[in-house]
Amino acid sequence: MTPALASALMPLMRGVDPERAHNLALAALRLGLAGRASEGDDPILATEALGLRFSNPLGLAAGFDKNAVAVAPLARLGFGFVEPGTTTPRPQVGNPKPRLFRLTEDKAVINRMGMNNEGLGAFAARLAALPRPLGAVLGANIGINKEGADPVRDYPALYAAVAPHADYVTINVSSPNTPGLRDLQGEAQLAAILSETMRTRAEATRQPPVLVKIAPDLALDAIPALIETCLTYGVAGLIVSNTTIARPASLRSGHKGETGGLSGAPLFAPSTDFLRQVARVNAGRLVLIGCGGIASGEDALAKIKAGASLVQLYAAFAYEGPALVGRIKSGLAAALRREGFSSVAAAVGADL
């Protein structure tokens, strides 16, 4: 099966419960039913960031493959990088169902999954078993359990476990569905986490760069301290941003009042504006990855021009399927040339 054919079957999934449909999609990927990209990437899309080489700047955000069960099939679809997770030290079932909602009229999703996952042991074992080269840069997204967590203890241990296998590691302190997690974005708590995590990194044989994923709802006046804290402890970059607890007035779906994090098309404009604000304060010191509402090559370029060196998507991929990856990449290549850019790197921050 080709990515185009797999995407053509996506409307059949709309009548299936969203969480069940997601699990079926992961099963299909594991069985190789989504196909693979038929050709290599346009050279204009090649870029370097975080000390790594990317054949293209388009990544799959954390949350799609929480347990790293379909990383290799996802890489074969043509993503430049894939970020499985969030994984937590111990397995957890997450929040009660239903906890995932399609806002079809809005091309959006609300989730309150609660970082359900099989735990670090299973996650790290699957990363270790992946074929290399993978064909895409491999991230790993780490977080803490809802109960019994000690962030200063847990994040370093999580880093140590995934560092031998990942090309970069993302510290998730921004999911809205784990009580108290977003409080860890505060200067003092983040400093304590990063201090211990970086101490662990310094002692590791393999030392993949560390990123921090932040929320789009973070107060603008908190950005300078957050960036300075990250720089103090040697963080390489920020993922801007996670889902939002805001509810734009434009939402039409009957599910718009559900509790949880909103992602998809309505997040594009506010998350891109937030990215631009972060980029202005950052002034090129940290690598920024733009995430939120990307569904086209033009969307990807808008994030890049707002300061992102790389971009990630999730909701649009869940709606449109594997063929979207190729469409975004070809659209981005065309948009770069149309606007006179010779490379992705040349476009980074062009709107600033």
250 is catalytic: no
Here the tokens at position 27 are 């099963």
- How far apart are the C-alpha atoms of 329 and 80, rounded to whole Å? 10
Give the neighbor-by-neighbor strand order of the sheet with 108-111.
100-103, 108-111, 261-264
Sign of CA dihedral 273, 108, 318, 239: positive
Here the tokens at position 131 are 């074929």
User: For residue 313, which of 332, 284, 289 has the smallest C-alpha distance?
Assistant: 289
Amino acid, single-letter form, for residue 139: G
Here the tokens at position 8 are 């053509």
Q: In 3-state terms, what secondary structure has residue 58?
A: strand
Terminal C-alpha separation, the chain: 42
For the CA atoms of 255, 256, 257, 260, the dihedral, rounded to the nearest 10 degrees, stands at 90
State the burial class of residue 180 (Cβ atoms within 10 Å of its Cβ: 0-12, 13-18, 19+): exposed
Buried b (16+ CB within 10 A) or exposed e, 150-176: ebeebbbebbbbbbebbbbbbbbbbbb
Are 215 and 244 contacting, i.e. CB atoms less than 8 angstroms apart?
yes
Catalytic-role residue among 175, 241, 263, 309: 175
Q: Return the active site residues.
A: 175
